[in-house]
Amino acid sequence: MERMSARAVVEAAGLFKTYGTTRAVDDVSFQVYDGEIFGLIGPNGAGKTTTMECIEGLRSPDAGRIAVLGLDPFRDAVALQTRIGVQLQEAQLQKRIRVREAVSLWSSLYPRPVDGFRLLEQLGIGGKEDAWFMTLSGGQKQRLFIALALINDPEVVFLDELTTGLDPQARRAIWELVRGIRERGKTVLLTTHLMEEAERLCDRVAIIDHGRIVDIDAPAGLVRRHCPERTVVIESADDGAVDALRRVPGVDSAVRDGSNVVLRARSVDVMTGVIEALAEHRIAVTDFQTFVPTLEDVFLELTGHSVRQ
Amino acid sequence: MTTRFRGLLSLTWLETKVFLREPLGVIGSVFVPVFLFVIIGRVFGDELTGADEGQRGLVGVDLAVFAALLIAISAVLSLITIISIYREGGILKRLRATPLRPLTILSAHVLVKLMFTAVTLALMLLLGRRYLPVDVPIPWVAFTAATVISTVSILSMGFVLASVVPTARFAQPVGTIVLYPMVGISGLFVPLDQMAVPIQLLARLTPVSYAVSLMRGAWHGDSWLAHWGDLAGLAAVFAVCTLLSARWFRWE
């Protein structure tokens, strides 16, 4: 996805951060454009959070240049904090703070806050104003943190491992909320170790492993570039199907598996040939499925190890 | 500037409410010192006050100073605990990711502690009135001021402890082990010049020894100028500890 005309709202160039002998962040550079959801993806400990916290001004990089909305996260800390929204990984609030009090406190810290209580309602925790923070469920806490991150009507929102520890249902609901943030015209920078989350949510992702960025692109673009192979499963009773399909240029193999013919191909270009061959030989097809590799496969391909480790 | 001040006020008010909701904290830092003072006063009242001679009872003074010190130290212990719990829970970090300045976040906690110190002290003096020397005017304002000044200095030491304690679980025990012995060698129970020289030197390094001397002086109605040495000692401790905290303080 080319966004040459778009404005870069986050620019990181040559970031380094070392803890002891570990290079947590190793020459990381990327840009996040206005209005997109950009994901830093990789396994736990890859350096995603450290990178993000450098950009938020919570941590200072050993080297490198950062600009967020043209501001320096350290020199212009207060100006920056008024214009960004932050949700931190595994953050807590005071146990006995009421939701209402947290919202009021946060509202009082910004020059032009939005209506925090409407925000709670929109985020689905409208009835929880009087609840103590410690009595909220994981999903409710995350929703509150999203509300606090949005209360100043920020231009850029940072979300760090937003759905970790949530059940699948809550996770899906939160994804919907994040898409809603983009629809309000805001830019989102998020980190996740869940490839499905990145695939469903992000316009572009940067794959990070051992503190280094391995590649940056739209999820579909990364898959096309690094894992172009496709598996096509065609359900057909036609005995001639295997032979006809095997001859299609680009098809590596075609084998019958019960009522299915399974094709393997090394590129997406094979699809037109397959459809033409089916039409030409008048092969009756009862089902047609293609299996496309996912970001998980891309990650494995690029790093040689699974993201789950 | 106004936003900043409003932030400090909002946070201080909120932390006050949050503190009041923790029954153990309130009992430890408000009720225990007050009850100690009242009960000791009731049991030993007559011997302590020296009321018959119309003079300010020496022991009575030290009882007030002791109780005030307890109030200050429990405020400091509570601060160390709260800061380390907030750090461990990521609350400090979350607050830092706002326009609040780091100093504002910590100042709110100091303000809460000073407020509770002053209130507890007032409560103690009020309830313990019968056990204080009669017919003798007590310089309430000066004594409260001396206690608050001392508390600021001891609090700064609390920040150093809060910077170095590894986890919240260690906060209370480490604070207790460091702070209470300071009371032991502060000159409150045994005059400083009757202690072994090394211990005297050690006492001179702690804020508590200056605090005791300053609070005693305030009780007796001494002029502040007469206690410039104590004030300088407290200020020096404050300066050194603040410098150390600035270097060592961890937000997470």
Q: Which chain A residues are closer than 8 Å to B84 by Cβ?
A: none
pLDDT per position as a tens digit, A224-263: 899 988 899 999 998 889 999 999 998 999 999 999 999 9
pLDDT digits (tens, 9 = 90+) for B179-207: 999 999 998 888 888 889 999 999 999 99
Predicted confidence band at B135 (pLDDT cuts at 50, 70, 90)? low
User: In this complex, is the C-beta atom of B2 within 8 Å of any C-beta atom belonging to chain A?
Assistant: no
Residue A38 lies in a domain: yes
Based on the fold, state whether residues A20 and A150 are members of the same structural domain: yes
Write out residues 233-252 of B within 8 Å (CB-CB) of A.
251
Q: Which residues of A touch B98 (CB under 8 A)?
A: 81, 106, 109
Q: Residue A32 and residue A134: Cα distance in Å, rounded? A: 35
Could you give the ipTM of this predicted complex? 0.85
Looking at the fold, whether A80 and A24 belong to one and the same domain comes out as yes
B20, B82, B94, B95: best to mutate for the A interface, most A CBs within 10 A: B94
Tell the residue number behind the tokens 């300071």, with chain if given.
Answer: B182
Residue A135 makes CB contacts below 8 A (sequence gap 6+) with none
Q: Do A110 and B91 touch (CB under 8 A)?
A: no
Work out the angle at residue A52's Cα, subtended by the Cα atoms of residues A134 and A215, and round it to the nearest 5 degrees.
130
Check CB contact under 8 Å for B99 and A110.
yes
Is residue A260 domain-resident? yes
Q: Do B98 and A109 touch (CB under 8 A)?
A: yes
Residues with Cβ < 8 Å from A70, sequence gap 6 or more? none
Q: Are A274 and A136 in a shared domain?
A: no
Min Cα distance B124 → chain A (Å) is: 28
How far is B90 from chain A, CA to nearest CA, in Å?
5
* Last residue within a domain, chosen from A197, A222, A247: A222
Residue B98, chain A, CB below 8 Å: the answer is: yes
Q: What is the pLDDT of residue B60?
A: 63
Q: In angstroms, rounded to a whole number, what is the distance separating the alpha carbons of residues B252 and B250?
A: 6
Which residues of chain B have a CB within 8 Å of the CB of A92? 89-91, 94
- Cα(A152)–Cα(A83) distance, integer angstroms: 7
How far off is chain A from B208, nearest CA to CA, in Å?
31
Residue A299 lies in a domain: no
Backbone angles phi, psi at B251, to 5 degrees: -90, -10
Q: For A151, which residue in chain B has the nearest alpha carbon? A: B98
For residue A307, tell me if it sits in a domain.
no
When pLDDT is cut at 50, 70 and 90, the band that residue B134 belongs to is: low
The DSSP symbol for A286 reads S
* DSSP assignment letter at B135: T
Question: What six digits make up the tokens of A41?
Answer: 């993806």
Averaged pLDDT for residues A23-27? 95
Domain that holds residue A114: 8-222
Task: Locate B94 and state its tokens.
Answer: 């979350």
Q: Are residues A138 and A50 both part of a single domain?
A: yes
CB-based contact, B6 to chain A, within 8 Å = yes
Chain B residue closest in CA terms to A77: B99
Q: Structural domain tally of chain A?
A: 2
pLDDT band per the 50, 70, 90 thresholds, residue B57: very low
Residue A188 lies in a domain: yes
- The CATH number of residue A78's host domain is 3.40.50.300
Q: Note whether A165 and A258 are same-domain residues.
A: no
Q: Which of A91, A97, A106 is opposite residue B93, by nearest beta carbon?
A: A91
pLDDT for B93-124, tens place per residue?
999 999 999 999 999 999 999 999 999 988 88
Q: What is the pTM of this model?
A: 0.87
- Cβ pair B3:A111 closer than 8 A: yes
User: Which is nearest to A260 in space by CA: A245, A277, A271, A275?
Assistant: A245
Burial of A234 (0-12, 13-18, 19+ CB in 10 A): buried
Count Cβ–Cβ pairs < 8 Å, chain A vs chain B.
Answer: 61
B2 in helix, strand or coil?
helix
- The reply to whether residue B10 touches residue A96, judged by beta carbons under 8 angstroms, is no
Between CA B93 and CA B150, with CA B11 as vertex, the angle to 5 degrees is 95
The encoded tokens of residue B131 equal 């056990």
Burial of B134 (0-12, 13-18, 19+ CB in 10 A): exposed
A78 vs A271: CA distance, rounded Å: 54
pLDDT of res. B140: 83
A81 with B6: Cβ contact below 8 A: no
Q: How many domains does chain B fold into?
A: 1
Which residues of A lie closer than 8 Å to B, measured between beta carbons?
Answer: 56-58, 78, 81-82, 86, 88, 90-94, 96-97, 101, 104-106, 108-111
Q: What is the dihedral of CA B15, B21, B22, B24, to 10 degrees?
A: 120
CB within 8 Å: A104 and B10: yes
pLDDT interval class at B130 (50, 70, 90): low
Name which residue leads in pLDDT, A212 or B40: A212
**Alpha-carbon span A208 to A190, nearest angstrom:** 13
How far A56 CA lies from chain B's nearest CA (Å)?
7
**Res. A1 pLDDT band, cuts 50 70 90:** very low
- According to DSSP, the residues that pair with A245 across neighbouring strands are none
Among A27-36, A252-261, B228-237, the least confident range: A252-261
- What does pLDDT average to over chain B? 87
Q: Based on the fold, state whether residues A259 and A203 are members of the same structural domain.
A: no
B205 touches chain A (CB under 8 A): no
Range of the domain at B112: 2-248
The shortest C-alpha distance from A27 to chain B (Å) reads 24
Q: Domain end: A222, A244, A263, which one?
A: A222
Helix and strand totals (H; E) in chain A: 11, 13
- Which among A57, A97, A111 has CB closest to B14? A97
CB contact under 8 A, A88 and B91: no
Q: According to the model, what pLDDT value does residue B161 have? A: 95
Q: Hey, how many other C-beta atoms are within 10 angstroms of the C-beta on B209? A: 24
Q: What is the pLDDT of residue A27?
A: 96
Identify whether residues A266 and A145 lie together within a single domain: no
CB nearest B90 (choices: A91, A96, A106): A91
Calculate how close chain B gets to A136, using CA atoms only, in Å. 15
Q: How confident is the model at residue B52 (pLDDT cuts 50, 70, 90)?
A: very low
Taking the C-alpha atoms of residue B152 and residue B171, their distance in angstroms, rounded to an integer, is 19
Is B20 within 8 Å of chain A by CB?
no
Q: Give the distance from CA B199 to its chain's centroid.
A: 22
- Give the closest of A56, A81, A101 to B99, CB-based: A81
- Option in A58, A96, A109 nearest B100 (CB): A109
| Rounded Cα gap, residues A85 and A157, in angstroms | 5
Chain B residues touching A86 at Cβ < 8 A: 94, 97
Model confidence at B136: pLDDT above 80: no
Are A208 and A68 within one domain? Answer: yes
Query: Does some domain include residue A12?
Result: yes
Determine the pLDDT at residue B46: 58
